[in-house]
Every structure is written in C-alpha cells, then in structure tokens.
Structure 1
Amino acid sequence: MSSSDAVGGSGAAVAAPSAAVEARVDASRRERPSAGWALLGSELSVMFRRWRTYAMLAALAAVPILIAVAVRLTGGSSRGPAFLNEISSNGLFVAFTALVVCVPLFLPLTIGVVAGDTIAGEASHGTLRYLVIAPAGRLRLLAVKYAGSAVFCIAAALVVGVAGALIGTLLFPIGPVTLLSGVQVSLGDAYLRLALIALYIVVSLLGLCAIGLFLSTLTDVPVGAMAATAVLAVMSQVLDQLPQLDALHPWLFSHYWLGFGDFLRQPLAWDSFTSNAVLQLGYIAVFGALAVGRFTTKDILS
C-alpha cells in the first residue's frame, strides 16, 4: 500500500466520525422544539396527577357551594360580598360572588403554592439536575414551568366559575341578568360575561406567577417560596388600601384584580382589562428576566 493510500485511508477515518457528529448535532437540533412540548406535556401531566392539585381545586370549588348553601338556608343578606343579595333572584350570581370572594385570598394562595414549587420543588426532590441536562435546557425549562403555572390559573378560575354556575342553577332560579348599569341581558350574554371575568382573573394572576417563579429560583425549599409568594400577594393588597400611598397604587400587581366589574356593564368597558394586562406584562417581563438571570447562573447541586 502506498503512503498516499494510507493518508487517504486515515483521512476517511477522520472524516467519518466528524460526519457522524454533525449528523447527531443536526438531529438534536431538530428534536429540541419537540422536547419543549414533550416537557410541557409531562409538566402538566405531573401537576394534574397530584393529590395536592386536586385538593386545591376542590377547595376552590367548595367556595361557591358554601356560598350557595348558606344563602339558600338563610335567605340571603344585603351585607357581605358584592352580588350576594342578588343570588336569591338569579343563581348565576353565585359564580360572580364566588369569584369576588376568591380573588383576594384563595386564588393567590393556590397560585403561590403552584408557582413557588416550580423550581424549588424539583430541587428539593433531587430531579432538577436531570431536567437541566435534558435537551430542553434551562431557558426552556423555565418557560415550561411558567406555562404550567399559567395553565393552573386557567383551571382554578374555571373551577370557581363553573362550580358557581352549576350550584346556582341547582338551588336558585336562572334567567336574564340585570347588570350593574341597570340593563338586563340574556342568559347567553351573561355566560359570555362570566367567561370574560374568568379570563380577566387569569390575566390578573399571571404577574403573581412570574413573581413565584423567580422566588422559586432563589431557594431549594419550596415551602419558603410558596409562603413568600402568598405573603407578597397579601401585602400588595394591603398597600393598595392605604390612601397615603396613592402614587404607588397603579404599580401594585394587585391594583386591578377586582376591576372585572366593568364586564358587568353595558356596553362592555375594556379600560380596566387593558390597564391590568399591561401591568401584568410588566411584572412578567421584570420578574421573568430576574428568574432567567438567577436560574441560568445558578449552580444545580440536586
């Protein structure tokens, strides 16, 4: 064999592994988009198989049921949450009342549990490092965790609204709804407005999800991130009630939480929804960036 043949043979031997590596890299690049969707599917599957998730959703569903039963047994009262005195005449107001009751405390509490557990929960169980080295990568893992929290927001708002509408239909008469502006609308229009209110509440909680995600990247103890998220939600609402801090109120993430009353007027008013959406997007951008900065530089030890 000539020296040139030997060189050619060695060159082919070198070229072959190089081509194989390039092919593997190209294949991994093609698989990365599907890896993100697979990870999201896995995240949602795990979330909605947990007894904790079922317990929280059941607790939320119990709120409108308790309200409806109490009104049914006592005949209702003009004292209490908004729309409470309307329940006896129209059962659909059970859903409206339950949403008013759940927004300040119960919904933020459950969102705090889910969002605070996103990263810290994986770290405490020792599974975070395996997720980090998966094809999805750290940024995509953060996006999937946030998306999972957002899906839970949708599920939580729907559970309260649907449970309220169902129990209201069972215990009270149902018919056209008189809005806050005094105009009466059909039952179909009222259900549409209920769906818009649920959407409003979901948007309202997205900023809190981003805060919880960021706090979850700061610790390996999920209970700490959960508690801190819930405490911040309460603190924001307390600060929003202090007249001495009027200049600060429009910047608090909870400032527009109860502004969905605009959807119970004729014509529909979108001002609160727009202001709320812009505010929540600001919190998502700020705390999302903080979460990315923290998580991409964090040493994953567990």
Structure 2
Amino acid sequence: MATSSESQRKSFIPEDMTVGFIGAGRMAQAMARGLISTGVLKPKNITASDTDPIMLNYIKELGVHITEDNTQVVERSKLIVIAVKPNVVRLVLKDISRVMSPDKVLVSIAAGIPISTIEKELPPKTRVIRVMPNTPALVQAAASVLAPGTEVLPGDSELVQELLQCIGICEAGSEKLLDAVTGLSGSGPAYAFAAIEALSDGGVKMGLPRDLAIKLAAQTLLGASKMVLETKKHPGQLKDEVCSPGGTTITAMHVLEKGGFRGALIDAVEAATLKARELGSTN
C-alpha cells in the first residue's frame, strides 16, 4: 500500500506520454520492457526503429510500433531515445534534424558523444539530455546518471529520471561526471561478471559443482550489494562486520590485499574513464 508521501509525489510523466527509440538493440529493448512492465507506458505509445530486422522483431514482441524510418519515430514521440552505436549518431541526427522541434526531448545513451556535438547537429532550442545507463537494465537493475543540455526546460530532467527509474536507479549530475560514470557503472558489470566467474572457479577448485558455485557467487554479490544500498553503511564497515578475529574471512582478505585486488579495481575504473574521455575528445 502506498504511503501518503508516495501517493502525493508529483509525477512528471503525462498520461499521453509517447516514447521513441532510434535503435532497437538490447538497451532499447530493456528500457521499453521496463516502461511497459511497470505500467508507465502502454506498448501502443512506444515506437522503435532500426536497420536490423532481427532487432525490430525482438522489440516488436513487446507490442510496440516498429518502423525502419527514424523520422517516423520522432513524429510519433514526445521523447526520443538515441540508442545506436556512437559511430552512427551523427548520421542519425542529420536524418532526424528536419523533424525535430522544441516541444520534444531528445535523450542520448551513446557513450562518448558530448551534448554539444548533439546540439550542433539539431535545430536551435532542441532539448537534449545525455544518459549513461548500463546493461543490468535488461533485468530492471540499471545504474544510470543523466546530464541535461543547455536548452532543457524545468521538469525535463525529472521526467527522464522518472522514466529511467523504471529500469533501476537514476541520478542526475553534470556532463563532466559521465566519463567517470562510464568507467565505474557503465563498464562495471563486466568487472562484476569477472569476479563472479573467478569466485565460482575458486569454488570448483575446492570441490563445488560448477552450477552451484556460480549460483552462490552471483547471489553473494547480489546480497552484498543489497546490504550496501539498504543499510546505507559504508562498505568498509560491512566488510569489517564479516571479518571475525583470526577467522576465515580476514585470512582471505589478506590474500586479496597481497594480490592487489582493490588497487586493480581502482586502476580498472581509471583506465575505462580515460578511454571514455579519449573517445569523447574524438567526437
């Protein structure tokens, strides 16, 4: 049952909201699925385009309208999500420029494409918001950060944030943070998958069946993550609470420290951030 504060919370999503996806790949499919499954949008209010008929067939299974014409997506939608590879973003923007208007909001989830580049390719006063989501959007567990462009209106960022919260969490920030966001949460699922694989390998080495080892490793990371988010305790404190004096966990932590575990993760986030920065400087 909703609390009084929840029931009184203002929604920025109008009843007649329409969303379009240019690019119908996995991220677009995940976002569309989240919007539909949470009841925020009806399938008929979503349009998707793609040059790949396979991707269109996948997203069509959600009941949305599909097309190969990007301009039709813009014409049918109040909010347009650019969900294509970074190397084709400029081509897409040139394609839709003639039908973009100031009453629409454009959201780009293309990594490394600055807001300034997007705004230059579109008519004056185009409302642009850049977002860095991540692949757990596929299971409605995304970690996203948005950054508004120069022409957004009051309520635009809140609208996009509310929509993205249908597929996980979404925070607002400045564009200068997005390279670091890419290095941490954008690339982060790969770090977690590698950790799960390594932990399960350790379990197998010590005699556990592979399927059980993977399940235990994945659930352990999931449970630890929930503890951080729900208790709001510092992860260092939670780690200390697991480490009994002279016990198994502190012994294992010593091995991780000697192996440079924490330093390797810090270096990974830094390397991915610098790579994102490099990609952005070429676009």
**TM-score, structure 2 length as denominator?**
0.28
User: Whose relative contact order is higher, 1 or 2, with alpha carbons under 8 Å and at least 6 apart?
Assistant: 1
Which one has the bigger helix percentage? 1
The structure that is strand-richer by fraction is 2
Q: Please report the TM-score for the alignment, with normalisation by the length of structure 1.
A: 0.26
